[in-house]
């Protein structure tokens, strides 16, 4: 299976200029190709990927307005047009129902201030010792935090909104064998406690409050400053670094938590949460978005495919996991969110609300709910 390994790179000032020029060329080629497709009258056939590459790259280089496209490698320019084809494919498959998940909108024009990227295939890059060599850009210093498991098939150079540069390699890896500690586990995701496990353990999320307060303060400051001013750009950069720091803390926590869940349990049972609908609650939207429930589910499913004999099961969001006693199966009905401990009137067992829900999630995922009743 194919996975990505991402590393920080440190370009020289001259290489920064070359990368910025490359990002601009990729963005222009993408936008030109999209403009051509949008200009096609309704009912007529759109140009193919090869025809678009010929129009926006080969023929455009011969014009005075786009002759500077020849200053950069043609490989990432071709990949930029290929990205547009993938965007249209995702759009049409989303409309027809072939693509699962949230609806994908019609491709939009790329902007200069957003995250920039350029992809090189094997003909455009090579690894020279500990350095990465890119066509027409030279060799880059890479912070190798871990070795690559195999020869990469492509690399994407990324510049985030905080001005940092990364190299994302696509490599092929095989599945691994790890003996599980438990046959199954149920996970109840929450806000105050990130996850309550059916084993009775709690997984506490890192505190984002301090960074959140600083982020809000800089957001208010940014809103008051004049657009286009140097001070506003300085504030925007500091705000981007704050958000990046929060995102990195969350990503590190989610990766470690999901890896532990998959390695220690043969079957991991999660609840299908309507996160998008929950974000409509003004009072809880920020706290819910900080937890990263959707990312945690995606990481669990992806890591289960890498380890042999692992499975992630998703139960229905309408399953009454908080309304049933996990010991005797008695259903007491809906209980207010403020009630955190419940005493079953049937068997007399006192349950923690989240712990009881986690046990019911595990039973529902394994199909054992009928046995308890």
Q: Which residues are catalytic?
A: 188, 271, 354
- Side-chain-side CA neighbours of 352 within 13 Å: the count stands at 13
Where does residue 211 rank: exposed (0-12), middle (13-18), buried (19+ CB within 10 A)? middle
Q: For residue 50, how many other CB atoms are within 10 A of its CB?
A: 10
H helix or E strand, kind and range, residue 195: strand 195-197
Q: For residue 171, how many other CB atoms are within 10 A of its CB?
A: 17
User: Checking DSSP bridges between strand 311-315 and strand 265-271, what pairing results, if any?
Assistant: parallel
DSSP state of 279: T
Q: Please, what's the largest Cα pairwise distance for the chain? A: 83
Where does residue 324 rank: exposed (0-12), middle (13-18), buried (19+ CB within 10 A)? buried
Cα 372 from Cα 265, distance rounded (Å)? 22
The whole-angstrom distance between residue 178's C-alpha and the CA centroid of its chain comes to 26
Tell me the three state secondary structure of residue 208: coil
Across 147-158, b (16+ Cβ under 10 Å) vs e yields eeeeebebbbbb
Tokens of 286: 């920020």
The answer to whether residues 253 and 206 touch, using CB atoms and an 8 Å cutoff, is: yes
Tell me the three state secondary structure of residue 205: coil
The answer to whether residues 232 and 113 touch, using CB atoms and an 8 Å cutoff, is: no
Cα 279 from Cα 189, distance rounded (Å)? 15
């Amino acid at each position: 299976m194919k996975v990505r390994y991402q590393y920080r790179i440190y370009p020289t000032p001259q290489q920064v200029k070359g990368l910025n020029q490359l990002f601009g060329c990729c963005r222009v080629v993408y936008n030109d190709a999209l403009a051509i497709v949008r200009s096609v009258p309704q009912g007529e056939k759109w140009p193919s990927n090869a025809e678009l590459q010929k129009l926006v790259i080969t023929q455009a280089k011969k014009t005075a307005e786009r002759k500077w496209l020849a200053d950069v490698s043609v490989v990432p320019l071709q990949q930029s047009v290929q990205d547009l084809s993938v965007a249209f494919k995702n759009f049409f498959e989303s409309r027809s129902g072939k693509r699962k998940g949230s609806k994908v909108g019609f491709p939009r024009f790329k902007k200069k201030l957003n995250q920039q990227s350029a992809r090189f295939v094997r003909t455009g890059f090579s690894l020279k010792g500990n350095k990465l060599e890119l066509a027409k850009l030279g060799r880059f210093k890479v912070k190798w935090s871990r070795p690559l498991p195999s020869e990469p098939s492509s690399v994407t150079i990324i510049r985030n909104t905080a001005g940092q540069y990364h190299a994302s390699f696509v490599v092929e890896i095989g599945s691994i064998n790890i003996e599980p500690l438990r046959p199954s586990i149920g996970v109840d995701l929450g806000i105050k406690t990130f996850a309550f496990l059916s084993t009775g353990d709690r997984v506490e999320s890192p505190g984002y409050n301090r960074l959140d307060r600083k982020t809000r303060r800089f957001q208010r400051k940014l809103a008051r400053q004049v657009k286009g001013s140097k001070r506003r750009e300085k504030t925007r950069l500091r705000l981007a670094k704050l958000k990046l720091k929060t995102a990195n803390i969350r990503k590190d926590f989610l990766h470690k938590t999901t890896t532990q869940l998959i390695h220690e349990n043969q079957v991991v049972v999660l609840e299908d949460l309507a996160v998008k609908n929950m974000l409509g609650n003004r009072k809880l939207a920020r706290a819910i978005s900080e937890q990263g429930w959707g990312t945690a589910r995606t990481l669990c499913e992806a890591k289960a495919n890498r380890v042999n004999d692992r499975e992630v099961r998703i139960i229905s969001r309408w399953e009454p996991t908080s309304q049933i006693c996990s010991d005797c199966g008695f259903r007491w009905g809906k209980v207010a969110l403020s009630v955190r401990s419940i005493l079953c009137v049937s068997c007399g067992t006192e349950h923690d609300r989240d712990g009881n829900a986690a046990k019911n999630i595990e039973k529902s995922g394994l199909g054992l709910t009928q046995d308890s009743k």
